[in-house]
A = this chain, B = another copy of it.
Amino acid sequence: MVVDDLKKIDIATGSEADKLAATIKNALDKKHLLVIIGRCSVDYEGRGKSRLESGDRIVIVKQDGSVLVHRPVGFAPVNWQPGSARITIRVTGGRGLELVSVRASPREILRVVFEDVYIVIVGFGLSDAGEFTMYVDEEELKNIIEKEPSLVEEGLRIVEREYRIGDFYVDFYAKDKMNNDVLIEVKDEKAGVGSVVQLYKYLLEAQRRNMKVRGILVSVGFSREAAMLAEKLGIKRVEINPKEIYAKYIEEKRTGEKSLERFFSGKNDN
């Protein structure tokens, strides 16, 4: 097979493990992107312990040393190691190739043993400076609520965001128009029983500290159980419409409020 016009990519194939190992070592040294497709078995030991019997897999070593072992199906990697680990590669038998990644803390070892390497792909000079921005998530909802508490309740004033009670943090500590204390938890998805319990924990903790306080759970929706439980515990439910919220946000942006810079602070870079 003749391959031309190869940009930013090198390829190594064949059954000579020495040569493949050299290619891989070089890629690791230079912190290039590395993709290996081949037949391998994988052992992991650390917080958990696993064995993956032999099969065809795709193994990716990223520029920061993250290792991902992917089966040909499924969203999640079957095994992995974060970038903080140290990677070594060695030739075991005639055609055997072993990649080991050791993480210091927690002590974890990932070992990939290749019986057969179909292809080694090295990406060099890859540059990814593209900014990643997540638009609608809980963070943004909270930003909007902070700006516009009336969306939650008429006359509400936010006192503090990420308010600490004991060991916990609640999204908002606010005061209602009667000047009573309110704790508010915001969920960007349908609230389940867990969300209600979470807020109730905060309320209990606050009451233990002699705060006279009620709770409001703000969410795009409530499960039947969550609604019943909230009712029973005296927690107010506020259902918000994300589209409406979003419209509000667009409106604000159009009016050129400069504080909205924070909306685009791209908190989730990778």
Contacts and interface: CB of A to CB of B under 8 A. Distances in A.
Nearest to A43: B263
A109 B263 contact: yes
A255 to B, nearest CB: 12
A45 B260 contact: yes
A169 interface: no
Given A33-B72, A66-B75, A56 B3 contact: no
A78 B134 contact: no
Interface in A1-35: 1-9, 11, 13-15, 25, 28, 33, 35
A188 to B, nearest CB: 8
Nearest to A92: B266
A144 interface: no
B72 A41 contact: no
B5 A15 contact: yes
Contact of A6 (B13, B45, B66, B132): B13
Interface residues of A, number: 92
Contacts of A55: 127-130
Contacts of A249: 49
Interface string A244-269: 00110110011000001001101011
Chain A binding surface, main DSSP class: mixed
B49 A134 contact: yes
A13 B106 CA distance: 41
Contact of A123 (B52, B56, B78, B106): B56
A249 to B, nearest CB: 8
A118 interface: yes
A242 B53 CA distance: 21
A7 B75 contact: no
A93 interface: no
Contacts of A63: 72-73
A136 interface: yes
A194 interface: no
Interface string A168-182: 000000000000000
Nearest to A123: B37
Contacts of A153: none
Contact of A75 (B25, B68, B127, B254): B68
Contacts of A150: none
A108 B106 CA distance: 36
A73 B64 contact: yes
